[in-house]
Amino acid sequence: MRVFKFGGASVKDAKAVKNVTKVLQKTGFSNLVVIASAMGKTTNALEKVVELYVEKNPKLKNSIEDIYTYHREILNELFENKEHPIFKKIIGLFLDLETTLDRNKSKQYDFIYDQVVSYGEIISTTIISEYLNHQGYENEWLDARDFIKTDNAYRDAEVHWEITLQRIKNKVNKNTLSVTQGFIGSDQNNFTTTLGREGSDYTAGIFAYCLGADSVSIWKDVPGVLNGDPRVFKNTQLLSHVSYEEAIELAFYGASVIHPKTIQPLQRKEIPLYVKSFVNPSGKGTSVKKGQPLDPYLPCYIVKKNQILLSLSSLDFSFIVEDNISEIFNLFHQYHIKVDLIQNSAISFSVCLDDRFDHFDELLTKLKSRFRVTYNKEVSLYTVRHFTNEAIASLEKNRDILLKQITRETYQMVVKD
Ligand code: ADP
Ligand code: ASP
Ligand code: MG
């Protein structure tokens, strides 16, 4: 059996949803679990809803209405018969969303975030599932929250594997077509949790692992994994094969085409992952499986924008040693700030940080009481795996480099944007 994942771009409008059917017509409708993200940029729009709600901004109602209108237009194009029950179903989900906000008593931002933002996936999969039924492709809509059980670290939940495995193994029909949501799960008290932005790929990895699937395919707006993000780098080339280890490295350094947590569960059961184009489903795409690191063997370019370069030295110019470093890392952990690169000298300690949840300013106050602090916001971290001298030379040209670091296979530099 197979697991397919369709991301936001692949279901961004009615034409795209129709294209999902076309892809499935080519690949078959049975022995399949389809995992879908929220449509287009809906998650960003719902993040805005949470912000407006928390700040009690009167624009809240409008922001929800805009999201409704966007989905309503998609429905209008997909279903000619305006009496079709899907119209009422979607209105019902938007009413539920409003009720959730009205009744909420929690002040915890991340909790509210997950209860709200998850509607994006619930709404999109409801539409996709109904559309497939309408086209004659009978399928079962599954609520991923009944299957993916997590802790209650809202916005970045950890999967509880044992119970998730039992639920998926026992309750998902391997022979038919199921449609479910990426990105979301639920905690012990059945409150909704999310697995981190872009986490739908990870959901595909979880379902595939638990079902012992034969393969996972993620359908993208690119021909497969390229040796750089085509939106950033020129003349990128398709990698036809990438090993699990190499894919983990590329995703870890920020190649956003695959969510970093996706690969490990697949590697454990040696389930191949195919990254393919939803525009050209017969294209070769990329296979991620056991074997050579890369084919063709090329330098791979990755950029992470909007990073922070932070340098610390002690107030008395003493050395930054292990106990300072462990204190600093504890703080990063506490504030959910991700460390992407570390460089240490006798009296100064530098890190490139990804402040995903906007906690840096709070952290800064803490650090300033203990260290001499300098930092640059909005820097970019470039990584080249399997670098060549030419690759580095062309990347460094005309750049204001703040820091660089080279190890055997990996070149990294932090630059001002
Ligand atoms: P999804 O619709 O599944 O959420 P994403 O937008 O997250 O898809 O991922 C696809 C995008 O990833 C591409 O449009 C491309 O700009 C970007 N990308 C970044 N790095 C790479 C890479 N190495 N190869 C291909 N695409 C990449
Ligand atoms: N919809 C979520 C996001 O945009 C999850 C995903 O698309 O993978 O982050
Ligand atoms: Mg995405």
Which residue from 253, 176, 267, 250 is spatially nearest to 216, judged by alpha carbons?
A: 267
Predicted pLDDT at 296: 97
* Edge-to-edge strand ranges of the sheet holding 2-6: 140-141, 177-181, 32-36, 2-6, 215-220, 273-277, 286-288, 241-242, 294-295
What one-character-per-residue DSSP string does 36-49 give? E--STTHHHHHHHH
Which ligand is closest to the CA of 204, given by its number? 2
Residues ≥6 apart with Cβ < 8 Å to 365: none
The span from the first CA to the last CA of the chain, in angstroms, equals 45
Closest listed residue to residue 19, CA positions, set 279, 283, 274, 200: 279
SS3 275: strand
Which pLDDT score, from 0 to 100, does residue 318 have?
A: 77
CB burial of 302-314 (b: ≥16 within 10 Å; e: otherwise) equals bbbeebbbbbbbb
**What pLDDT does residue 176 have?**
96
Average pLDDT of the residues of the chain = 96
Q: Residue 314: its pLDDT value, please?
A: 86
Per DSSP, helices labelled H in 192-306 are 200-211, 244-253, 263-268
Q: What is the share, in percent, of the chain residues with pLDDT greater than 90? A: 94
Q: Is the peptide bond before 296 cis (omega within 30 degrees of 0)?
A: yes
Q: Is the CB of residue 397 less than 8 Å from the CB of residue 344?
A: no
Residue with tokens 């990105």: 183
To the nearest 10°, report the CA torsion of 395, 401, 406, 412.
Answer: -70
How far is it, in rounded angstroms, from Cα 222 to Cα 238? 9
- List pLDDT tens digits, range 126-176: 999 999 999 999 999 999 999 999 999 999 999 999 999 999 999 999 999
What's the 259 CA to ligand 3 centre distance in angstroms?
A: 8
d(CA 395, CA 34): 39
227 — pLDDT class (breaks 50, 70, 90): very high
Q: Pick the ligand that lies closest to the CA of residue 223.
A: 1
Residues 6+ apart with CB under 8 A from 333: none
DSSP string covering 68-121: HHHHHHHHHHH-S-TTSHHHHHHHHHHHHHHHHHHH-----HHHHHHHHHTHHH
The C-alpha angle with vertex 200 and arms to 71 and 330, in degrees rounded to 5, equals: 125
Both tokens of residue 113?
């975030």
CA atoms within 13 A on the CB side of 18: 9
Q: Is 255 in the pocket of ligand 1 (CB under 6 A)?
A: yes
- Please tell me the pTM assigned to this model: 0.93
Does the CB atom of residue 228 touch ligand 1 within 6 A?
yes
Rounded mean pLDDT of 232-241? 96
Once rounded to an integer, what is the mean pLDDT over residues 36-49?
A: 98
Q: Would you state the pLDDT for residue 348? A: 87
pLDDT surpassing 80 at residue 317 = no
* pLDDT reported for residue 143: 98
pLDDT at residue 320 is higher than 90? no
DSSP category for residue 144: G
Nearest ligand to the CA atom of 124: 2
Q: Which residue has the tokens 């599932």?
A: 129
The answer on pLDDT for 291 being more than 80 is yes
Confidence of residue 67 (pLDDT cuts 50, 70, 90): very high
Q: What's the confidence (pLDDT) of residue 37? A: 98
Q: What is the mean pLDDT of residues 234-240?
A: 96
How does residue 315 score in pLDDT terms, banded at 50, 70 and 90?
Answer: confident
In short, whether 40's Cβ falls inside 6 Å of ligand 2 is: no
Q: Of ligand 2's atoms, which has the minimum distance to the CA of residue 199?
A: 8
Burial of 193 (0-12, 13-18, 19+ CB in 10 A): buried
pLDDT at residue 337 in the model: 95
pLDDT tens readout for residues 325-347: 899 999 999 999 999 999 988 88
The 10s digit of each residue's pLDDT in 367-392 is 999 899 999 999 999 999 999 999 99
Please indicate whether residue 198, judged by its CB atom, sits closer than 6 Å to ligand 2: yes
Give the closest residue (by CA) to ligand 1 atom 2. 7
Average pLDDT, integer, range 280-287: 96
Confidence of residue 70 (pLDDT cuts 50, 70, 90): very high
pLDDT tens string 74-83? 999 999 999 9
**What local confidence, expressed as pLDDT, does residue 385 receive?**
97
Distance CA 384, CA 379 (A): 17
Looking at residue 39, what is its pLDDT?
98
CB atoms near residue 199 (< 10 Å): 24
Answer for the pair 410, 384: CB distance below 8 angstroms, yes or no. Answer: yes
> What pLDDT does residue 365 have?
94
